[in-house]
Copies of this chain bind each other. A is one copy, B any other.
């Protein structure tokens, strides 16, 4: 599930988690974020890298700083719980950093689940919040199941049978605690590939598989440029389209956030806040039975799944989130393995903002 294949790892550099997180936080402090908010944003990005999810790591610093500098994000704003009714709530993010809003909303969901057993919190006025799994995994230490979803970064996919991009890839995550095994953490978008993979293919002039995208005529294409003009294919045909619709509606329509007809593209529209919608929920296992017994059953099923005989060439069977958990452990021991080009990009932003590049990094990036 970790796919490093679209990055060049010919030249890599290992950076300790703490060094990368502190450096990233200093960059966001230079952009006007409070120490607390900068630490949080840095943690979400560097945690994604440490888990091997480079697409949502420090690669995003470039986009985030551009949006901040163009005044699209209110870096000193704080989210507000504008509706709190029983186990439900609505958070207005007031256009703060998506991470600040996400952590606040998930903490609200966890507190409400502790009080009522389950919770449901919707958000409007938010921005890109990083990986969904960052928030669902906050529930694990509480012995809760965590849920989160977000409207995607823009309309990328057509309705099934359509030709116009009217639906986001609308990711969601579910995290379930285990006893001695890694927690089971699913985090998935509803498109076959990220648009970035098509962009990469246009740069290398490589044809794309005809299962990735549709052209403007709604027919499968192997031409990446035509795919970018057209739409990205949903997973599992009409089922992925259906999932994207439901996740989008749950993320944005209750809180009255942007979606479909009102959604601005995070990469292309710098006219102001995005009014992104997100959803957060938690379920307190302890309300329904013994937590240790539950987590032991989770371990039992994990072992049953992993013990399956394997197909030719398969060394090991993984549960959702297991490759990321293993990458995390390796990153904490060895430092995070970064493609040098990623570090070079962060270095460029850092120097432009007069933020010192950590000694151990600059000396190896000559």
Interface residues of A (CB under 8 A from B): 1, 83, 85-90, 115-120, 122, 145, 158-164, 166-167, 174, 176, 184, 186, 188, 192, 214, 217-219, 235-236, 238-243, 245-246, 248-250, 253-256, 259-261, 281, 283-285, 287-289, 293-294, 297-298, 300-301, 304-306, 308-312, 314, 316-320
Contacts and interface: CB of A to CB of B under 8 A. Distances in A.
A184 B83 contact: no
A343 B254 CA distance: 43
A145 B317 contact: no
Contacts of A305: 159, 162, 166-167, 245, 260
A186 B312 contact: no
B254 A294 contact: yes
A87 B320 CA distance: 28
25 contacts: A1-B242, A86-B115, A86-B117, A86-B287, A87-B87, A87-B116, A88-B287, A90-B288, A118-B281, A159-B305, A160-B317, A161-B314, A162-B310, A167-B305, A174-B250, A186-B242, A188-B243, A218-B310, A218-B314, A236-B240, A242-B320, A245-B320, A246-B320, A256-B297, A261-B304
Contact of A306 (B159, B259, B287): B159
B122 A120 contact: no
Contacts of A284: 88
